[in-house]
Amino acid sequence: MKMVTALPQSEQLAVQTAMIRQLFPNHDISVVTTMEDLFREATTADVLVSTAFFPISSDLLRSAPSLRMVQVAGVGVDHVDIAVAKELGITVACVTGANTVSVAEHVVMSALALIKGLAPANSAMHRGEWALPIWIKSARDMAGTTFGILGMGRIGREVALRLQPFQVTVLYNDIQPIDDEERYGATFVDFDTLMSESDVVSLHLPLNDATRKIIGADALDKMKFGACLINTARAELIDEAALAKALQNRLGGAAIDVFHPEPPPSDHPLVGLPNVILTPHGAGVTLEAQQRIAQGVIQNVLRFIDGRPLADVVVEGSR
């Protein structure tokens, strides 16, 4: 069996490559870091392991006649052409829940940083300025604020749980109310109410035709003056140009972990804005989350090799 693993460049790449080869000693292992290399190696691959940083397009899938399984090293599969995978009979699986806690913690961290005005104060201090005037002007308590969660799935619920000690009002919106609102201390409201009443809005939606650019100029205009937006889900949930404009005349700040494209170019509309906290699509890749994801991937690939039932199947293949 030939397994191709697509990983981003990192200081851990050599260690990761050695580990994969040690775990699958009797198989042909190829580790790639570019789309060019991925296209070349995929033509003879039986199994493809990939992160969200590598689009698994129709062209890629159709160029791989031996490919039987795509194992996503993460939760989201919107970078995989699911329709073509179904058409070709290629199994697609992911690792659900592995980074839920990591992302939820990142959201709470971001909310505190935005509400306190941490980023501009930190930047001023590094420039040699005494940032107390900035701090006095902008720092607020989290207690007493209203926190809106758009998408009450696994991560949204973990965010709500972690907000409970902060004495905030938690609103949420989803396709329908959840059954155990009391456990999460959250109240279901419609989209417009969530946008207009929240001091902080955090996005936890999947990307699809219904949610693409759900946060556009109209939605942003509904938000309170000085409110903040957090996106750790998918970049295309937001009209980034509209958000950049709102951040200059309406919103208090934003924390953005996902971009379109990635990495963002230097002229990306959100790069350089002083009230924006930018992180490199890393909310869900803490050291602990990486270990959980790696274990999930390894176990599922071993199941596939042995012909055992898989976990977290998105497409049941026939090859």
List residues with catalytic annotation: 234, 262, 281
Q: What is the Cα–Cα distance from 95 to 80, expressed in whole angstroms?
A: 14
Say whether 154 sits in a helix, a strand or coil: helix
What letter represents residue 120's amino acid?
A: P
CB crowding 202-213: b at 16 or more within 10 Å, else e: bbbbebeeebee
Which of 27, 57, 59, 58 lies closest to 45 in space, CA to CA?
27
Sign (positive/negative) of CA torsion 91, 205, 149, 50?
Answer: positive
Residue with tokens 């709470």: 108
Instruction: Provide the token pair at 291.
Output: 């270990």
Distance from C-alpha of 164 to C-alpha of 183, rounded to nearest angstrom: 10
In the chain, what are the helix, strand and coil shares in percent, each to the nearest 5? 40, 20, 45
User: Buried (b) or exposed (e) across 243-275, using 16+ Cβ within 10 A?
Assistant: bbebbeeebbbbbbbbbeeeebeeebbbeebeb
Q: Which of 194, 225, 229 is nearest to 114 (CA)?
A: 229
Task: Report in angstroms the alpha-carbon separations of 263 from 32, 110, 266, 313, 319.
Answer: 18, 20, 9, 29, 34
> Strands (DSSP E) along the chain, which ranges?
2-6, 28-32, 47-50, 69-72, 91-93, 146-150, 169-173, 186-188, 200-203, 228-231, 253-256, 276-278, 313-315
